[in-house]
Amino acid sequence: MKLFCTENSPFSRVARVLVIELGLEAIIEITTVTVRDKHSQLLAYTASGKVPALYLGSSRTLCDTRMIAQYLGHIAGQVNVVASVDEIEDYAFEGFCLSVLESFCVWVREARRDPGQISQQLIELERARAIRCLGYLEEQVERLEQRFTLAAIAIACALDIADRRLGFTTDKQHPKLQQWLVNVNSRASMQASVPQKLLQQAR
Ligand SMILES: N[C@@H](CCC(=O)N[C@@H](CS)C(=O)NCC(=O)O)C(=O)O
């Protein structure tokens, strides 16, 4: 199986972390591709052109992070890597965590446009959303601490990209979240998936 990723994409990182956490390195080949590129090899596997994408063989490709997580959990025999709809609070929390990651991606994308094209209104909207969401996560940190599964991995990757790309960090207002992040960042899966290109850039 091939897992298509870019080096810097936080959604890709979620999938890469899961591959390591689930011990699937031997059967999942990580393939780095380009996105927003009409010549990308990924387009031969999925018209969406987005990462992560998991090619299963026989022209079957999963191109949604939650689906990929669910599938990886399935083949690893660890179905609780994603929340079950039977545990509705966990299920809702997981959706919230993925939406936090999505929101940081929107903010990063906007911030990287040519200066004249950046919408300050959008930036401020995303900043306000981020502050609100981190406040909520500070209250809900026990949920993140319980298990390092999709919800927690999404937040770990979201907070990392927010720090590296936007200089937006958990601060004194979020001490529990900050401590949780320090702890999870020391995991082998998080260490092995640090975006190397961003690491080399000045922060
Ligand atoms: N909802 C998708 C989001 C994936 C996504 O937005 N990926 C970004 C990189 S973080 C991407 O591939 N962007 C390329 C593009 O928009 O063409 C998922 O859950 O997998």
3-state helix, strand, coil in the chain (%, to 5): 60, 10, 30
Q: For each of the chain's 203 residues, which pLDDT tens digit applies?
A: 999 999 999 999 999 999 999 999 999 999 999 999 999 999 999 999 999 999 999 999 999 999 999 999 999 999 999 999 999 999 999 999 999 999 999 999 999 999 999 999 999 999 999 999 999 999 999 999 999 999 999 999 999 999 999 999 988 899 999 999 999 999 999 999 999 766 655 44
| Pairing state between β 2-5 and 53-57 | antiparallel
In the chain, domain spans: 2-81, 88-187
Q: What are 186's two structure tokens?
A: 């020391």
Task: Confirm or reject: Cβ of 51 under 6 Å from ligand 1.
Answer: yes
Check: CATH 3.30.110.30 for 88-187?
A: no
Mutate to test the pocket of ligand 1, among 6, 11, 100 (most ligand atoms within 8 A of CB): 11
Distances (CA, A) of 55 to 30, 44, 50, 190: 10, 11, 13, 23
The ligand 1 atom nearest the CA atom of 63: 20
What dotted CATH number matches 2-81? 3.40.30.10
Half-sphere exposure of 197 (CA within 13 A, CB side): 7
Q: Which amino acid is at 10?
A: P
The ligand 1 atom nearest the CA atom of 52: 20
Task: Confirm or reject: Cβ of 38 under 6 Å from ligand 1.
Answer: no
